[in-house]
A and B are shown apart, each in its own frame.
Chain A
Amino acid sequence: MEMKRLPELGRFAEPAMLILVSLSEGPKHGYAMMSDIEAGTGRPIGPGTLYAALARLEARGVVEPLAPVDRRRPYRLTALGATVLREQLTELSAFAALGLRRLAEYRG
């Protein structure tokens, strides 16, 4: 697989991850993604940030648009997107496990 990470996303790498995790539940349009991200993380994501990240993800083939319904266009993960997200989350999970293991032994 050519694209294992989320390169070239700069400041949009984190919103991109939030979008991918939101879409891993199934296709969603912009408003549904914003609500889901806010509910899941407690952090608001602005419409400008959402669409900047979404445009980059689409350009890299990680998400794809579906036919619009009443001007609201849903997006879904592509197969590449699912692979990228799985690898990212696995890495994060391994990193978190390492940190927690070290914390358990920490005597500061």
Chain B
Amino acid sequence: MSRLVRLYPAAWRERYGDELTALLEERPAGPFDVLDLLLGAIDAHLHLRGLGNRLEHRKGIPMSLRLSGLAAIVGGGLWSTFFVMVSFAYTGMDLDIAWFPVVLGAGVLLLAALAGLSAFEFRDHPRWVWIAFIVPALGIGLVLAALLRTLVTGDWTYDEGSLGAAILYGGLLLILVGSIVFAAVSWDSHGLRLLGTIAIAGGTLVTLPALFGLLPPIGLIVGGILFGGGWITEGVDAVRNDRSVVRAR
């Protein structure tokens, strides 16, 4: 983790590098810390170039938690859109390429959201938080692989039993499994809003069987809206938390 310190400008590292490295060696770091260090490095580069002060007068770079909250809000909306689109595809509608940018955008935003929101849970469950982050990251890799395969071969069929379907559905399965792990960890540590956690878990449990044809396509719409709504709820909570001065325990 201390390798991330190398992303900071040399002048900054010379002054703070040693103590920040010592801190990172002393304290176990989670996805939230990685995201926070990346933003910190960008801020240090801008600040040392004199851009930091100018940015501060405007909106500045949002704090990690706020950024993740916004990612959860936008990503949640995209996930609901995606699952509704898939339900249309199940009823015979040809979506062509339109759904790929939606699912890729939703996936990347989900990772950003997971990185920031997991800050609340990381101290209690460091291993599970990493699992909740890495599993969907692998899933997004598979979705990207499915897209690349389609672009290379020109094969847009995702029929049952085909290689394309196996890669794509494998990716979606990992993304949903990672989300339910996060929901379980969040439930246990009471890190975020219970309503959002329940919606993510419930949405996943309805969406998964519908995705694999065990429930009618309406399950994708209901589950997708629940799943996306859960992430939006968590995102709104994170943005609110970030704005509050002190949250009384």
- Footprint of B on A, CB under 8 Å? 8-12, 14-15, 17, 29-31, 34, 38, 40-44, 46-49, 51-52, 54-55, 68, 70-73, 92
Count residues of chain B with CB under 8 A from any CB of chain A. Answer: 46
Interface residue B3 (Cβ < 8 Å from any Cβ of A) = no
Please provide the chain B residues from 4 to 47 with a CB less than 8 Å away from any CB of chain A in the complex: 12, 15-16, 18-24, 26-27, 29, 32-33, 35-41, 43-44, 47
Please provide the chain B residues from 43 to 70 with a CB less than 8 Å away from any CB of chain A in the complex: 43-44, 47, 53, 55-57, 59-65
Task: Name the contact of B56 in the complex, choosing from A10, A51, A70, A92 (C-beta under 8 A).
Answer: A10
Task: Name the contact of A31 in the complex, choosing from B12, B18, B26, B55 (C-beta under 8 A).
Answer: B26
Report the minimum CB–CB distance from B108 to chain A (whole Å): 20
Tally of A-B residue pairs with Cβ under 8 A? 102
State whether A47 and B62 are in contact (beta carbons under 8 Å apart), knowing that A42-B247, A42-B249 are contacts in the complex: no
Cβ–Cβ contact A14 & B22, under 8 A = no
Task: Name the contact of A51 in the complex, choosing from B32, B40, B119, B246 (C-beta under 8 A).
Answer: B40
Cβ–Cβ contact B19 & A9, under 8 A = no
Interface residue B120 (Cβ < 8 Å from any Cβ of A) = yes
Task: Specify the main secondary structure of chain B where it touches its partner.
Answer: helix
Cβ–Cβ contact B245 & A48, under 8 A = no
Task: Name the contact of A73 in the complex, choosing from B19, B241, B249 (C-beta under 8 A).
Answer: B19
State whether A17 and B245 are in contact (beta carbons under 8 Å apart), knowing that A10-B60, A46-B37, A49-B36 are contacts in the complex: yes
Cβ–Cβ contact A31 & B122, under 8 A = no
Cβ–Cβ contact A30 & B23, under 8 A = yes
Cβ–Cβ contact B21 & A55, under 8 A = no
Report the minimum CB–CB distance from A21 to chain B (whole Å): 9
State whether A47 and B23 are in contact (beta carbons under 8 Å apart), knowing that A10-B55, A11-B63 are contacts in the complex: yes
Cβ–Cβ contact B19 & A8, under 8 A = no
Cβ–Cβ contact B18 & A55, under 8 A = no
Task: Name the contact of A47 in the complex, choosing from B18, B36, B60, B249 (C-beta under 8 A).
Answer: B36
Task: Name the contact of B43 in the complex, choosing from A30, A40, A52, A54 (C-beta under 8 A).
Answer: A52
Tell me the bound Cα distance from A30 to B119 in angstroms.
17
Cβ–Cβ contact B64 & A46, under 8 A = yes
Contacts of B246 in A (CB 8 A): 40-41
Cβ–Cβ contact B33 & A46, under 8 A = yes
